[in-house]
Structure formats: C-alpha cells, structure tokens
Structure 1
Amino acid sequence: MIGAKENNLKDIDVSIPKNKLVVITGLSGSGKSSLAFDTLYAEGQRRYMETFSSYARQFLGKMERPNVEKIDGLSPVISIEQKTTAWNPRSTVGTTTEIYDFLRLLYARIGEAYSYNTGKKMVQYTDTQIIDHILENYKGRKISILAPVIRARKGHYRDLFEQTRKKGYTKVRVDGKIVDLVPGLQLDRYKVHDIEIVIDRIKVMPDKKDRLVQSTQIAFKQSTEFIQLLDNDKDEVRTYSKRLMCPETGISYEEPSPNSFSFNSPYGTCKKCKGLGNCHDVDMEKVIPDDSKSINQQGIVPFGEVRDNFTFKQLRQIAKKYNFSFASPIKEIPEEALDIILNGGDEVFDHKLNYSKRDLIYNLAHEGLINMLSRWQS
C-alpha cells in the first residue's frame, strides 16, 4: 500500500505479508480503523463490486475509491462486525460465537440416546410394536398390565387410592406387591413408594389381541409416559414406552430437542449445578469449626445463640431422646443424633404452634441442617 491519505492517515506506505496473522495497534485516533476498514476493506469491496455486471451495479450504488495512491496484491476481503455481547456465568466460546446453536441442532436431529444407568441404547415403541412384542414373548403366560402413577416419592396417597377405587380398579401394586384397593388404604408418608395401577390381568393368547390393545391404551392414559407388564409366574417386570426408554431399567427420556442440549435452558441444564459448571457445597469445617464446643457455645455455627424458637424446641426433643444436653461438646453427642441434626432422617420431632387456627408443624429432623443450608443457597 502506497500513499494512504484516508481520514487522518498521513501519506502512509505499508507492506502487509500474506498468510500471517497481522494485528494493527496504536493509540486512539492514530488511524487503525482508517487503515484497516476505510482503506484496505473499502478498496477490496470496491474491486469486488466491479466484477458485477453493469445491470447489477445499478442496484448497489456507486462506491468511492479510498484516498490511496496504489494497492497491489490485495486478496478478497471479509469484514467481521465487532459487537459487544452480554456475558453471564454460563457463557462459553461456543455460545458467544453461536456455534453451540448449530451443535445443539445437530445432536437433537442425529444423536442416539443411551441409558446413563446401563449404557445400552434407548428404544422407542409404537402401539403396534408393543402389542406384537407382547404376543410374541408372552404367549400362553399370565400377565398383569400396570400403569405407574407414583415413582420414588414419599406420601400416604390416601386420596390417590380413593380416586383410583372410584374409577373401578380393584388392585394396585405397591412397592412390588399387589394389594387390594380397600376404603381407607394409605401408606407410610415418610417412606419412598412406587405405585402402579393394575389395569388388567390376562392370559396372552392371539384371540385376546383386542382386549390387549384396549388395556394397553387405558394404561397409557393413566400413566402418560410408560406402562409395565408383570409376568405373574416369574414375577418379572418389563417396561414399554412410546418415548425413548431404557429396556432394562425403564428410565424414560423425552424426544431430543435443541433445548435438551442447552445448559441455558431448564430442559437441558444440569439439575445439580444449574448449568454453571460448579456447585456450592456445605463446608463442614465452617458448620462445626470446633467440636469441643457445645450448642450453648455455638458449636454448630448456623444455629447461632440458643433461643426460644421452633428449631431449638425440636433440638431439645432430639437431645431428650438421645440423652445429651446443649452443654455437651459436639464430639460427645451420639453419632445417630448428630446425623439426624445434620442430614435429617425418617424420625419425626414435631412442635405444634397453637396460636393460630391451623397448627403449623416444623420438622427439622426430617430435612436436616445441611439440606436446609443447601436449599437456602440455591
């Protein structure tokens, strides 16, 4: 480039090597943009426009030649717009350059799902495939068609059993055992349960295909996601789903979509770190910095000073049951009691408030201090 005088350039002569990464630096107002954009890029764009036909150029407008005496060996030019992007803790090179959007689309369209539990490829059945598979593999055997409604959740489910009984069903499978639906049936509210409605009990025969089709359709309406087939003789359960599903464990996935691979979306973000890539865990050295101190001496720091509130009233109940006092050093508190205080458990230490129309029940021992701190942090 010889004799560049565009804007504030003072008759500049410069030779720029090809196949090299060249950076133009200088103080503000020294002519960096004038050299790169207003001279080099403008001349390259003008020459490119001149290759068009006269008919096409009339729609593009006329481009003025930059104020420069001579430019030799100019390659085709591309200008990338500089933009300021909003940054957040989930930003990566992929999200900033928008390449990640294409990768998410690629994985959603051609990706194959595998079970995180068994490592086996997920399967997906149609209604016809489910019926054909049952007729082929269970011919002549007695089966029960189940509709899972509760998976690994706590509760007594008295209302659920009553509603199911009113729909005309007579049996349910609770935690692997089939029981009769009787009025007033309820479970232990503090234990985790699996509940399936017994839709039909049938001996698989080709002439009962219509009944089999009807029963599986009803089961899908009750369960929405998947159904289970119980071999009554072998007590083995097989899971079928219209969605992606692990054939062994019954884990079901939704159909992959671009949002499934986005850590900025609730559908794809990690449930533990919320898409941030790091987690905040409770530091036990800060919770109990000195186990020779007692609760009275704030040995368990988050509790603070002993007060007459609901938390300390429940702590007194725990202390009474496990034979320690607030004056006992933390290291002398029975291990089982300390575990209940920190991690929670199935035991109930209720304290009722009688100043309102409805009693409020606080159960510190059910959640535990560590879980409570984690919940507050999130």
Structure 2
Amino acid sequence: MGVVDGFMNFLERLGGKTIEVTEKPMRRIPQGKSVQERLRALKQLQKEVEKESFEDEREKQMEEMLEWRKREMQSSFSDRLAEALLRYFKGPITSLTNSLKGLDQDLYRANINTPKEKYVATMVVVSVFAAFFLMITGYLLFLSFENILLLGFLGFVGGFMYMRQYPKMVWRRRVMEVERALPYALRHMASLLSAGVGVAESMLSVAKADYGPISEEFELVLMDMRTGSSFEDAMTRFEQKMDSESVSRVVKQMLRAVKFGGNLADIMYKMAEDFSFEYRMKLVEYVQKVNGVSFIYMFLTIVTPTMFVVGILAGSVMAQGLIMPPSTIAIMLLLAFPALSLIIINMIKKGEPR
C-alpha cells in the first residue's frame, strides 16, 4: 500500500506542476481589473509571444546558415568558385554547355557525378587560373606585354581543352583498370559459379570485393537491375559504357550462357587465362619498345639541352655578345625542353599495355 500511495502522490504532484506550467501565461493577465487594463495586458502578452517566436525563428535561421557554411567549407575551393560563376553567369555558361556536344556522355562514362553546367563552370575556372599562371610566369621572365597576353591566351585555351578532354582521360584510365582486373574478377566469379551460386550473386560478391573500378561498375549494374532493368539490358549498357573489346567478349559470353545455357564457370576460367596470356605478350612487347625509346628520351632531355647551352655560349663568345635574348633562352630551358620531355613520357605511358 505504501508503494501505491507514493505513486499516487507522485502523479498528483506531476499533474499540479503541469497545470501550473500551462496556466503560467494566463497568470500574467490581471484579475479583477477593468476591461481596458485586461486588454492592454493581453496586447503586451501578445507582443511577448511574438518576440519569443521571432527569436526562435532567428535562432533557426542562424543554425541553417551555420550548417550551410559548414557544407561550403567541406567543398573544394574550385567547386565554390564554379558554383559562384554558375550563379552569376548562368546564361553564358548554359549556352557554352549546349555547344559542347557529347559532354554528358563523357561524364557518364567517366563516372563523374557532376551536372554539365557545373562542370563547364569548373572548366572556365581552371582555364582562368592557367592563363593567370602563365601570365605571371611571362612577367617574371621579363617578356613583353604582347607576349604576356599571348601566354595568357594560350593558357586559357590549353586549360579549357585539357578540362574538356579530362572526362575522356578518366574513362580510358577506368577502362584500362577494368581490363587489368578482369582476369581476377572472372576467376572470382567462376569459383562461385562452380559452387552453385547464381550469376547475379557472383557479381555482387565481386562488387563487394576490392577489384577497383570493375567492382564499382558491377555495383552500378546491380543497381540498374534493382531499379527494374533486366540483366540483359543492364549488361548491354555496361558494355556500351566501357566500349572495350575484352569487356564486350565477357558480356556476350555471359548473355549467351544465361540465354541458351552452358557451363559459364568453365567459360570464365578460359577467358581469364586468355586475358592473362594476352597481357603477358603485350607486356613483353612494351618492354622492348621502352628499351628502344629510352635512348631517344635521354638524348632529347639531357644531351640536347646541354648542347644548346654550349652552342649559345660558344656563339656568344665568337660574336662578343649574346646571340639570343635571355628571355628566349629561359623559355627554351624552362618550358620547351621540359614540355618535350613530358610529351615523350606521355607517349610511353600511352603505349603501356592494358
């Protein structure tokens, strides 16, 4: 009984406190006064309530602003500049975006989840920075005003063209990484298929494994299937996205085996072995080519600049004065020869087997 009485007393105190809190605003109204005094008190109470509501709304706005600033600080500086440029120059950016054909497909293939307009704004920002950097370089090299402007124009055009080709470069790199990981992913799937696991489940296992871009692409294929696409349609879109001969062979074999039946595990084992053998043969050929190009690279990047400096010094001594302006010499040594070196490295890199 003591416990029941104590619990009832607690409920009574709780109810009394609740009534006291709810009636607290009403106690501000004077009792036993005239109608005018009570109306003035009601107006004052209304002003206090509106003031409290305004303060609550202001605090909510401040919290939203702080949250927005937090998200802004987490994004990169180039993204913030691109968003600002898109906000104030949306019309010209949209017109420029419409003139760039195939950009949306390139962004899709490169798996770059950025709207076209925002990416074009980023292209403009990068181009402006490239132009500014080259103009500062020309100023430090004491070039003429016309040459500085020319460098700025070339920097803007070069930066814009690079950013336009960037999605294609990302896509090619992803295709190369997918082709490299393809034998390992096929062996993974074949082992699961041999154990009686289905094709979709084996693809899910590859997607959860760490095979790089091919795991990401398999995850996208499975997401496409979850949204209602058939296995054939999802795999066909994957084949078109990669646009690779090796991927096309794998997709066709998988669709043929699923549609007409067959031992898909053995087929995948065989394709994995074929891809590994082809890669080894390409690697041997690549090493032989690099051995031949290495001599040319050393000659153009080490011997040629040395001969250039020696020739300039010898000619200047004979002519009793510089035969070439210092700015031209600086451009040749700081820009031309390093650019030639980068071109050769890029050619060697492009020849690397997939």
TM-score where L is the length of structure 1 = 0.24
Between structures 1 and 2, the one with greater helix share: 2
Between structures 1 and 2, the one with greater strand share: 1
TM-score where L is the length of structure 2 = 0.25
